[in-house]
Amino acid sequence: MDSGAPAMTEVSGAPVSVAPGESARKSELAFRLRASSEYVAIPVLALAIAAFLFGIFLVAIGKSPIDFVDNIWRGGFGSAFSFQNTLQRSAPLILTALAVAIPARIGLIMIGGEGALVLGGFAAAAVAVPMVGAAPPWLTLPIMAIVGIAVGALWIGLAGFLRYARGVNETISSLLLTYIGIAIMNFFVEGALRDLTNPNKPSTKPIGEAYMVGKIPGTDVHWGFFVGVVLAFALQILMTRTTFGFAARVTGGNMRAALAQGLPVGRLIVACAMIAGGCAGLAGFFEVAAIQGRANASLAAGYGFTGILVSFLARHKSIAIVPVAILFGGLVAAGGLIQRRMGLPDATVLVLQGLIFVVLLTSETLYGRFAIFRATASRDRT
Amino acid sequence: MNSSLAIVLIAMLGGAIRVSTPFMFVAVGECLTEKSGRVNLGLEGTLVLGAMVAYAGSYHTGSPWLGVVFAGLAGSCLGAMHGYICKLPRVNDVAVGIAMMLFGTGIAFFFGKPYIQPTAPRLASIPLGGWSSDADLASALNVNPLFFVGILAALALGWALRNTRWGLIVRTVGDSAAAARAMGISVDLVRFLTTTVGGFLAGVGGAFLSLSYPGSWNQGLSSGQGLMAVALVIFARWSPVRCVLAALLFGGAGAIGPALQSIGVTEGYYFFNAAPYILTLGIMIATSSAKRSARDMPGELAVAK
């Protein structure tokens, strides 16, 4: 629980011993390590403080924080079974977090991942209905994925376009689009596309076992996790090593400067929003094709909202999203166990997530306040 | 045909009065907050928490009005949290709003679990339709007192912002923090207070949801009303009185679906469910502009840029 403080000194302690006479390359590395360790230490500290506050909260309502940690460990990480469950649940979190991170680099706070996930998943399930039985799985699945990505991309792309073309606040519009997207899915799932043989819960027709996305060989984890990790690395390269990413980051830093440079700001904004929506739509495809087997209201399970927190905690860095998503995947996976073993309501995980989010954003104020992260190494740089 | 049109219109009138009340409270509260140059996107969470606290308060004390007061206090707590956190340097108020939205909803669902089943005393309505022999019209005019409280609050706030020293301070802080500082006003304190009061009003709006219409507590009680109300403030161009009118318009739009259902039209139910969101989005598209900032916008505000 109090791992924040030691982690801070460990990470930053390493590069102190660089002698002034050593090569410039080494001191450059030391400087970068020192500077970037701040971005690890402060979020870790925020996590620790949030965990501490949540511990007090648990004690106040008469539950044991130690039991809570124990149950999260067992439910999320302790055994091969639970860890695979965690990885499975982190797959949509990686993708919905990317849906927040990419627009964030261009200076937009998009929080509509939930809507793009739901609509993308629904569109994938809908396009599968006539194809199941008529076309082979190797043809059906890619088409489902493409349709899911395209619909998600259009959905968030719309929020990006409105932002650029009409100056509509993208945070509000993307969340409104989420409500509209869920309403559209309900409209079809309870109407035209409802599977009438299933009286329990309004759903589309199941795509069937033969058409489901398989597991990564040797594990119980579906391919969505693998795709999410690959995509996180690919997008990291796109945003840090290409002209497109550079232009996007310039726009995020100062839109007027980007316009003055003649960068195609409008196209960059829409492109980033569409990449984001595509990621969330892909998450919806995997939820349908690898987990649920059909589209229904369970698609709106809150992955899109947890993804917002994951992306902020990873400071909108694609690669950092993967470990953070696994951490929160474990929290989500352990939710059921916490409910059963400790008699806590299912909203407990929501409270913890909200608390982490609030503390994390408060910790933004700490950047640049600790001398340990600046100190000597910067002198060598000049 | 004529009579069914009348039924729909009457149902929409009643619906507009009922549905608009929470919008009104949240929008008026947010209007005050935004007048001081800060945005609180977390009012959706405040609304849900207010609804839960009001229901629990009414259930335990037996007095729905005490529930309303508790809801307001709970809303002020969330507002004060937002106001305090945002005064720290380098903290983004929009992002904190999102976090407060998740936090408020989480807390409400966590503590609200035991109150889903029991029935709490609800706020009594004032039967203003007694003069009419038409039963539909009479029931449409059963108006909750909170509706009038909301209108009074909006009028009072509108007047105070224009005519009092306090109003001038709030407007100065919202238009130019530098000018306010030069006048010796504590910008952080003013924004902290306006966010707290805004949270109070949003909490009361939540109390209306659980104690009047729909009149019970469950987890699906508010789906975006708080957020739409924030968007409404932009449409109402930061005037509390126009916020009330915009809320009535929204109430009417939200009431179309149930009104049509009352005469047996059930097609497009989900479309009418989505109508308020689509209307909000349409209004935002129509009133925003990429080239210039919105009319009458407080100069310090980030949300409508």
pLDDT tens figures, A177-215: 999 999 999 989 988 888 888 777 889 999 988 999 989
Are residues B95 and A109, on separate chains, in Cβ contact within 8 Å?
yes
> Containing domain of residue A188, as a range?
82-343
The answer to whether B305 faces chain A, any CB pair under 8 Å, is yes
User: What pLDDT is recorded for position A22?
Assistant: 58
Average pLDDT, chain A: 89
Sign of dihedral through CA atoms B58, B64, B66, B68?
positive
C-alpha–C-alpha distance, residues A89 and A74, integer Å? 15
Nearest to B72 by CA among B14, B153, B144: B153
Per-window interface: B 26-85 vs A, CB < 8 A: 41, 81, 85
Contact criterion met (CB below 8 Å) for A88 and A254: no
Regarding whether A106 and A41 lie in a shared domain, the answer is: no
How far A219 CA sits from the closest chain B CA (Å)? 33
Quick one: pLDDT band at residue A133, thresholds 50, 70, 90? confident
> Do A334 and A360 fall into the same domain?
no
Query: Which of B168 and B270 is assigned the larger pLDDT?
Result: B168
Question: Does residue B293 fall inside a structural domain?
Answer: no
Inter-chain touch B113–A350, beta carbons under 8 Å: no
The 10s digit of each residue's pLDDT in B12-24 is 888 888 889 999 9
Model pLDDT, residue A1? 37
Residue B217 belongs to what domain range?
2-137+145-287
Mean pLDDT of A44-53: 95
Q: Could you tell me if A121 and A175 lie in one domain? A: yes
Nearest Cα to Cα of residue A3 among A57, A55, A37, A41? A41
Is residue A14 predicted with pLDDT exceeding 80? no
Structurally, how many domains does chain A consist of?
2
Q: Which residue has the higher pLDDT, B182 or B1?
A: B182
Q: Does B94 touch chain A (CB under 8 A)?
A: yes
Contact call for B92 and A361, based on CB within 8 A: yes
- Please indicate, yes or no, if residue A70 is contained in any of the structural domains: no
Q: How confident is the model at residue A229 (pLDDT cuts 50, 70, 90)?
A: very high
**For residue A23, what pLDDT is reported?**
66
Q: Please give the residue that has the higher pLDDT: either A5 or A93.
A: A93
Q: Find the closest chain A residue to B277 by CA distance.
A: A176
- Residue A28 reports pLDDT greater than 90: no
Does the beta-carbon distance from A350 to B81 stay under 8 Å? no
Contact call for B305 and A167, based on CB within 8 A: yes
CA distance B235 to chain A (A): 12
Could you tell me which residues are beta bridge partners of residue B219?
Answer: none
Does A128 map to a domain? yes
Residues B263-273, mean pLDDT to the nearest whole number = 74
User: Given a cut of 80, is residue A4 above it in pLDDT?
Assistant: no
In a domain, residue A72? The reply is no
For residue B234, the distance in angstroms to the closest alpha carbon of chain A comes to 10
B281 located within any domain: yes
Which chain B residue is nearest to residue A100, measuring alpha carbons?
B95
Whether residue B29 is contained in a domain is answered as yes
Q: What value does the mean pLDDT take over residues A16-26? A: 58
- Collect all residues with Cβ–Cβ distance below 8 Å to B218 and sequence separation of at least 6: B116
Question: A104 with A194, same domain?
Answer: yes
Residue B41's closest chain A neighbor by CA?
A172
Predicted confidence at residue B2, as pLDDT, reads: 67
Q: What is the predicted pLDDT for the residue at A308?
A: 96
CATH assignment at residue B270: 1.10.3470
A321 and A247 share one domain: yes
Q: Does B285 touch chain A (CB under 8 A)?
A: yes
Shared domain for A223 and A243, answered yes or no, is yes
A138-165 residue pLDDT tens: 999 999 999 999 999 999 999 999 999 9
- Examine the domain organization and report whether A169 and A291 are in the same domain: yes
pLDDT at B66: 96
Q: Are residues A45 and A98 in the same domain?
A: no
Q: Judge whether A16 lies within some domain.
A: yes
How many helices (DSSP H) and strands (DSSP E) are in chain B?
12, 2
A242 domain-assigned: yes
B301 is a domain residue? no
State the Cα angle at A127 between A121 and A130, rounded to 5°. Answer: 140
Q: Which residues of A touch B285 (CB under 8 A)?
A: 162, 166, 168
Q: Does B110 sit within 8 Å of A184, measured CB to CB?
A: no
The shortest CB-CB distance from A353 to any of B41, B106, B278 is to B106
Q: Hey, are the CB atoms on A176 and B110 less than 8 Å from each other?
A: no
Going by C-alpha positions, the residue among A292, A280, A288 that lies closest to residue A141 is A288
Of B227, B290, B303, Cβ closest to residue A175: B227
Evaluate whether B98 touches B42 at the Cβ level (below 8 Å): yes
Query: pLDDT band for position B64 (50/70/90)?
Result: very high
Residue B300 lies inside a defined structural domain of this protein: no
Confidence of residue A7 (pLDDT cuts 50, 70, 90): very low
Please tell me the total count of domains within chain B: 1
Question: For residue B91, which residues of chain A lie inside 8 Å, CB to CB?
Answer: 361-362, 364-365
Whether B286 shows a pLDDT value over 60: the answer reads yes
Same domain for A104 and A212, yes or no, is yes
Confidence at residue B302, expressed as pLDDT on a 0 to 100 scale? 67
Query: Max Cα separation, chain B?
Result: 65
Residue B292, domain member (yes or no)? no
Q: Half-sphere exposure of A37 toward its Cβ, with a 13 Å CA cutoff? A: 25
Q: Kind of pairing, strands B126-127 and B142-143? A: antiparallel
pLDDT score of B6: 84
Same domain, A363 and A226: no
Average pLDDT over residues B185-196: 96
Q: Is the peptide bond prior to B214 cis by the omega test (within 30 degrees of 0)?
A: yes
* B169, part of any domain: yes
Token duo for residue B105: 């909803």
Q: Mean of the pLDDT values across residues B81-98?
A: 93
Q: Does residue B152 have a pLDDT over 70? A: yes
Residues A338 and A352 in one domain: no
Identify whether the C-beta of residue A31 lies closer than 8 Å to the C-beta of residue A381. Answer: yes
- What is the mean predicted confidence (pLDDT) over B190-219? 94
Does residue A76 lie in a domain region?
no
Contacts within 8 Å (CB) and 24+ apart, B268-271: B270/A183, B270/A184, B270/A186, B270/A187, B270/A190, B270/A191, B271/A183, B271/A187
Give the closest residue to A260 by CA, choosing from A268, A251, A269.
Answer: A251
Torsion of CA A133, A134, A137, A139, to 10 degrees: -170
As a whole number, mean pLDDT of residues A267-276 equals 97
Range of weakest confidence among A360-369, B112-121, B195-204, B288-297 = B288-297
Residue A366 lies in a domain: yes
Take residue B102 and report the two structure tokens written for it.
């998740």
Whole-prediction pTM: 0.91
In a domain, A198, yes or no: yes
Per-residue pLDDT tens over the stretch A116-129: 999 999 999 999 99
- Number of CB atoms found within 10 A of residue A9's CB: 12
Q: Do residue A156 and residue A223 come from a single domain? A: yes
| pLDDT at residue A11 tops 50 | no
* Alpha-carbon distances, residue A267 vs A158, A165, A251, A320, A341 (angstroms): 12, 10, 11, 27, 51
Which of B96, B230, B277, B279 is the best mutation test for A, with the most CBs of A within 10 A?
B277
